Amino acid sequence: MFKKILITNRGDVALRVLRACKELDIPSVVVHSTADADSMPVRLADESVCIGPPSSADSYLNIPAILSAVAITGADAVHPGVGFLSENANFAEIVAAHGLTFIGPEPLHIRAMGDKVEAKITAADAGLPLVPGSPGAVYNTAEAHCVGAEVGYPLLVKAASGGGGRGMKVAETADDLNDAFAAARAEAKAAFGDDTVYLERYLGQPRHIEVQVIADRHGNVVHLGERECSVQRRHQKLFEEAPSPALSAEQRARIGDIAAEATRKMGYLGVGTMEFLYEDDQFFFIEMNTRLQVEHPITEEITGVDLVREQIRIAAGLPLSFTQEDVTFTGHAIECRINAEHPETFFPTPGKVTAFHAAGGPGVRVESCLYSGYSVPPYYDSLIAKLIIHGDDRAHCLARLRRALEEFIVEPIPTTLTLHKRLVDASAIKDGSYDIRWLEEVFLNDQ
């Protein structure tokens, strides 16, 4: 096992990894920016090293500063958490070149999945069903029209380097295609410095369903069921649940087996998530995230598996501590993302939290770095707390969630807590009938 793990992240993610380190009895180091000097991970880690000023480029993405922190503290493994350097194949390679262990997949898989065109080719080779579209990148409008004629409209132009829903434009008909193509390329160039795009049929009312997979160095590959993440605004997830209210046990087993088999064919290592769109009883692979997901706790709640603990054990060369047959799904879990954002305009609302009270009681888990007196910095992601609920079944889970939301206090900054309190009583949430368009086109539109 590792002598010391250095965590290159902040907020609730750093805390989540820190908790796993403590339970494994591994000393931990947290690196932080000057803006996070008073944060909970810094207080709770065995050691902390300041690696730069607030801007992420100068701190959490500053590889030389992170390597210096490793050298100073003598850590032998690096956990990248979620976001920041977690899907940076160069960083994973640099870490390995320094004789350290990167707690994550192999650089080749991070790289293959980081480019969406290559990811689709890799996924097709591994037997995953794809959204009908261009077989690879599309470089001009003549080629795009050929794909459109074959696949049909509406058509979605997507950036190969895309992320966070940027660089995506819909062409409703062939007449819109030239404009959508140019707009997606321009947005992709501005956001990612790469204007490579590809085309996919634009699905009308799909659900976003993702499968958690995990693989060790000993040939063991297991899937841990699915997460339903269709409640999205601007392609950002806000509310996730497991299992999906849309799937039967047979459909769950089918997509789980397909994802696990693809993981095995790829020779993938560690934890990963295969994201699918689901429509008319068909699954279509859209991307694979080669890291822990923000919403991983709902899988942990229904399976009893500690994903971060397993991730660390796998990186240390140990075999998975369970088999596919050992995995059972118990009850229902929901995660609400509580963001420092105005619940109607979604503008960030950083600032000082003078009163904080986390919900508690049976079936309630809170992943957060907040404390009374903490100032939410304006420099980073607006996620400030995750409220995770486990119940005997979906109705029980929703009842618990409603109760927990009433208990939860974050004052005075506006947060998405207010939104979740309304969301929990929406009929499409109660009956589980929502799709990826529902939040924006129905729920937020009706306000």
Window 121 to 150, contacts with ligand ADP (CB under 6 A): 131
Query: Of 127, 165, 360, 362, which lies in the binding site for ligand ADP, with binding defined by CB under 6 A?
Result: 165
* Residue linked to tokens 């429509």: 279
Instruction: Work out whether 235 is an interface residue with ligand ADP (CB under 6 A).
Output: yes
Peptide bond into 154 cis (omega under 30): yes
Strands 77-79 and 101-102: parallel
* Six-digit token string for 38: 């008073």
Q: b or e along 300-329 (b: 16 or more beta carbons within 10 Å of the residue's beta carbon)?
A: bbbbebbbbbbbbbbbbeeebebeeeebeb
Is residue 233 a contact residue for ligand ADP (CB under 6 A)? no
Q: Output DSSP code: residue 443.
A: I
Q: Which of 75, 286, 359, 401 touches ligand ADP (CB under 6 A)? A: 286
106 part of the interface to ligand ADP, by CB under 6 A: no
Q: Contact region for ligand ADP (CB under 6 A) — 119-127, 140-148, 196-204, 346-354? A: 196-204
152 in contact with ligand ADP (CB under 6 A)? no
Instruction: Say which residue the tokens 């369970």 belong to.
Output: 322
115 binds ligand ADP (CB under 6 A): no
436 binds ligand ADP per the rule CB under 6 A: yes
Minimum distance of ligand ADP from residue 133's CB (angstroms): 7
Q: Are 209 and 232 in contact (CB under 8 A)?
A: no
Determine the 3-state secondary structure of 420 from DSSP.
helix
* Residue 138: φ, ψ to 5°: -120, 125
208 binds ligand ADP (CB under 6 A): yes
Tell me the per-residue interface mask from 349 to 378 with ligand ADP, x by CB under 6 A, - otherwise: ------------------------------
Q: How far is the CB of 187 from ligand ADP (least distance, A)?
A: 11
- The least distance separating ligand ADP from the CB of residue 67, rounded to whole angstroms, comes to 28
Among 64, 135, 152, 164, binds ligand ADP (CB under 6 A): 164
- Please report how close the Cβ of residue 238 comes to ligand ADP at its closest, in angstroms: 12
Say if CB 21 and CB 28 are below 8 A apart: yes
DSSP string, 191-257: HHS---EEEEE--SS-EEEEEEEEE-TTS-EEEEEEEEEEEEETTEEEEEEES-TT--HHHHHHHHH
Distance of CA 174 to the CA centre of its chain: 34
Q: Does 294 bind ligand ADP (CB under 6 A)?
A: no
Of 122-130, 199-207, 211-219, 298-306, the window that binds ligand ADP (rule: CB under 6 A) is 199-207
Region of 21-29, 65-73, 159-167, 178-186 interacting with ligand ADP (CB under 6 A): 159-167
C-alpha span between 289 and 309 (Å, rounded):
18
| Closest to ligand ADP by CB, 117 or 364 | 117
Residue 287 binds ligand ADP, judged by CB under 6 A: yes
Q: How many residues does the chain have?
A: 447
Q: Which stretch binds ligand ADP (CB under 6 A): 51-59, 158-166, 172-180, 313-321?
A: 158-166
Q: For the CA atoms of 371, 8, 45, 310, what is the dihedral angle to 10 degrees?
A: 100
Q: Minimum CB separation from ligand ADP for residue 225, in Å?
A: 18
Closer of 188 and 359 to ligand ADP (Cβ)? 188
Q: Distance (Å, rounded) from C-alpha 86 to C-alpha 65?
A: 16
Question: What are 431's two structure tokens?
Answer: 């009956």
232 binds ligand ADP (CB under 6 A): yes
Binding span for ligand ADP by CB under 6 A among 32-40, 79-87, 157-165, 415-423: 157-165
184 is a contact residue toward ligand ADP (CB under 6 A)? no
Computed from CA positions of residues 87, 324, 313, 262, in that sequence, does the dihedral angle turn out positive or negative?
Answer: negative
- For ligand ADP, the closer CB: 264 or 437: 437
Q: Which of 251, 259, 225 is nearest to 328 (CA)?
A: 225
Of positions 2, 91, 202, 276, contacts ligand ADP by CB under 6 A:
202
Q: Catalytic amino acids?
A: 291
Residues that bind ligand ADP (CB under 6 A): 131, 156, 162-165, 200, 202-203, 206, 208, 232, 235, 275, 277, 286-287, 436
